[in-house]
Amino acid sequence: MKILILGNMANAGYAVAKGLRKKNIDVDLAINKSQNVMALPKWEDANFDNSSDSSSQFNPDPKWKDPDWVKYFDFKNNQKISFIDKIAIRVNLIRMVRNYDVIEAHVPYSIYTQFAGIPNVPYDAGWIRYFPFKNGIRDKLARRAYRKAKKIMMTNPDTFEIFDKLSYLDKDKIHFVPFAIDPDKFKPSNEEQLRLEFARPTELLLFSPARQNWFYKGNNKMIRGFAKFAKQFPNSKLILVDWDSDIEKSKNLIEELRITNKVGWIKPLTKNKLIQFFNIADIVLDQFTLGSWGGITPEAMACGKPVLIYLKENHIKRAFGEMPPLLNSFTDEEICSNLIKLANEDFRKEIGKKSREWVIKTHSTDIVSERHLDILKSVIE
């Protein structure tokens, strides 16, 4: 069996392909070369220029080389090309995927691979939140791809409530599959020197890698919760990432709450650098609106860090059969209350230890890649 994983949003495809390759499975990963740099394997595994200069911060070590099983095509994103050229690019993609026995199609490629004449398994990492409710041609093609697919993989437990309402989808073909996390890569490490750049040894250091998007991430609630916490625990600092549409709103709120001196800003981080920041933090904060997680939470947990996040418990239990050792927080008051609990060092360490153990049990690359393999095998048997 020859497998193609098509697409690589947040390097989810790359993580699974590496896991399958370790099992000697014949799998390739195909990536749109004009994707955002965060969807390229180098973002995951290369070491980057440490310069703070925004023009050079995404230049990888020149020794970096993609594995030979990573293939590229080019949709020429953000380039002005003719309609005929767009069609030709997509036809060539369909021709290319016909060299494989089965396709795991990440967003948005099931739109095209459904016409390739070979088994097509959409991999849904939250796309289902959008296309069922719109009437553009892409949305209609996406609905058709999901309806025709023999199996669908879904990664976000909160989207159970959407899948359940779509009467045109056979619920038996929808399979929950967690994000793949390599516990040998995401693990505790000593980053004392880096930590000293952001906090004194006696200070409590909080880190939120979530992009600044209040609607999807609830950064406003987190900032308000931290402000309340900081009044009771003034010996604390918060690191935020300067990224996405609501940066100015977040900065204005921080100024309004008079906590500017307690908040530091950094640029988006490559994965190797992100691991270092997880390890300098005492507490990690993710998102407070959606009800489930993407990559941030399990990656931080694998590094042995306690995480604050909002979870819809019924969906999490449906996906995993149990709740993880996370501090469920929805309102700014709950965020503050749970931060107060984690101010206790012994409690922090206990939650951090349990968090890493839970991620290894549920998200480890070995376990998750095996689940992918079972699903992909089932559609060609």
pLDDT reported for residue 59 = 60
Say if 186 falls within a structural domain: no
The pTM of this model reads 0.90
| Same domain as 199, residue 172 | no
User: Is the four-CA dihedral 55, 58, 63, 64 of positive or negative sign?
Assistant: negative
Does residue 220 fall inside a structural domain? yes
Q: What is the pLDDT of residue 91?
A: 94
What domain count does the chain have?
Answer: 2
pLDDT recorded at residue 39: 85
Distance of alpha carbon 258 from alpha carbon 40, whole angstroms: 39
Position 80 scores a pLDDT of 86
Residue 71 pLDDT: 95
263 shares a domain with 171: no
What distance in Å separates the CA atoms of residue 185 and residue 359, rounded to the nearest whole number?
Answer: 13
170 lies in the same domain as 206 = no
- Examine the domain organization and report whether 62 and 41 are in the same domain: yes
Note the pLDDT of residue 313.
Answer: 95
Quick one: pLDDT at residue 56?
43
pLDDT score, position 49: 60
The interaxial angle of helices 345-363 and 365-378, nearest 10 deg, is 30
Q: Residue for token digits 């409590």?
A: 204
69 domain-assigned: yes
**Per-residue pLDDT at 61:** 65
The answer on 284 and 205 residing in a single domain is yes
**Cα distance between residue 57 and residue 267, in whole Å:** 9
- Residue 93: its pLDDT value, please? 94
pLDDT given at position 51: 44
pLDDT computed for residue 100 by the predictor: 97
Given a cut of 70, the residues of the chain with pLDDT beneath it are: 49-62
Q: Which two tokens stand for residue 122?
A: 């959409």
Whether 75 and 215 share a structural domain = no
- Start-to-end C-alpha separation, the chain: 10
Asked, for residue 122, whether it belongs to a domain, the answer is yes
Q: Is residue 338 part of a domain?
A: yes
Q: Are residues 359 and 242 in the same domain?
A: yes
The residue range of the domain holding 203 is: 192-363
Residues 327, 197 within the same domain: yes
Alpha carbons 192 and 199: distance in angstroms, whole number: 10
Is residue 236 included in any domain, yes or no?
A: yes
Q: Do 339 and 302 sit in the same domain of this protein?
A: yes
Q: Are residues 23 and 150 in the same domain?
A: yes
Question: What secondary structure does DSSP assign to 115-148, as a single string?
Answer: TSSS-EEEEESSGGGTGGG--SHHHHHHHHHHHH
Q: Is 224 found in the same domain as 108?
A: no
Whole-angstrom CA distances from 331 to 70, 80, 218, 328 are 43, 44, 9, 10
CB atoms within 10 A of CB 315: 18
CATH number assigned to the domain comprising residue 135:
3.40.50.2000
The answer on 337 and 237 residing in a single domain is: yes
254 within domain boundaries: yes
Residue at 172 is within a domain? yes
